[in-house]
Structure 1
């Protein structure tokens, strides 16, 4: 049976003590940083840990790493990357995809929690991700594949390619253009484009805009160096539709 947020928090307070989690020191407000500062070079193994460890044992594995000095920012970033790499915004930008959408929300919950409980929202989100990952596997096993490098536009052409691909609702071209944008464009220039396309239609009852806002806010915390998979996931969300290509129609969701 899925674990709800309230049930998890009610039971996890005692569980945190059993797991030996350290009290989370008071968290300062997350400052604005150079968005290109990378996380620790050992970041990739943590992403793989979240992706490959079974749901039954993952919380204990993460708790052990917290006891050994794993940082909050590293776990937050690893969770976001694991989620966008293993859960797709299809058939809609919702349902199982809430594993991605909630990451910034649990970050805010952590910042607002009592000192002793500040790991708990993030641990809940880790567990929730594993549920969505299992759902994705059951429905076909989608994972984010490496981008087609031959199609990635050079930095000076990435913005134009991204706009053209999204205006045409061309998922394949948008995927490659998103990678080019992440590699060559500035963070704020990119957000201007994301905001435009995140709000252009009302499919998935506004969840494209939610993903845009929460994805951006999470990247501000985890660092722009890891933006590429997030932008590729956003491009996939922006091109989600059913039936006729919206570029050739006038559907109510586009008005």
Structure 2
């Protein structure tokens, strides 16, 4: 299995390279966006580890150009940047996963294996769960035939939940993946936004897909009667 690391911090890149080599991967390294883009388009890889802040061409630009060239290799973004919507922006451009530095090496390996198992489906992919669809290309959400208007934060929350559908996710996980890492408020903000989201994607359509799992977190599932929900949506 071949991995490309595009990371300008040479010490970190070498540490990851040695660790992945010890795990049995064949690893190549590029230290700037231009050489990373060239390597990613000229050679086949199972996964690309792509830093966001790169010299010559940043990770967003590299990722965008890869997808425009129809290179669908799974991309795991690595970054220390604390921007509010970095993760959502990366997913919109076609990233498959995201890790914020510093991260556990074992978590990195687990994420790589998960991406390899998932493979590289042709993109862009509209995310679908029952009658609920989310299109990352234009950041639109629909329940059946009805458009659902969401704020940027609500969209980021739904994007995270739909990618992890049928899994219970905790408030801490949601804060880590949807909110700015520098956010200093309490985790009750998650409960507030879950309520906002539920009132937009569930309540108007008579479904209950976004559930609270007491003491554990939240669970997004497909509507049980997708056909009925679709009919209700088309009648609105």
TM-score band, normalised by shorter chain: 0.3 to 0.5
Which protein has the bigger helix share?
1
Greater strand share, structure number: 2
- Structure with the greater relative contact order (CA < 8 A, sep ≥ 6): 1 or 2? 1
State TM-score, norm by structure 2: 0.33
TM-score (norm 1): 0.32
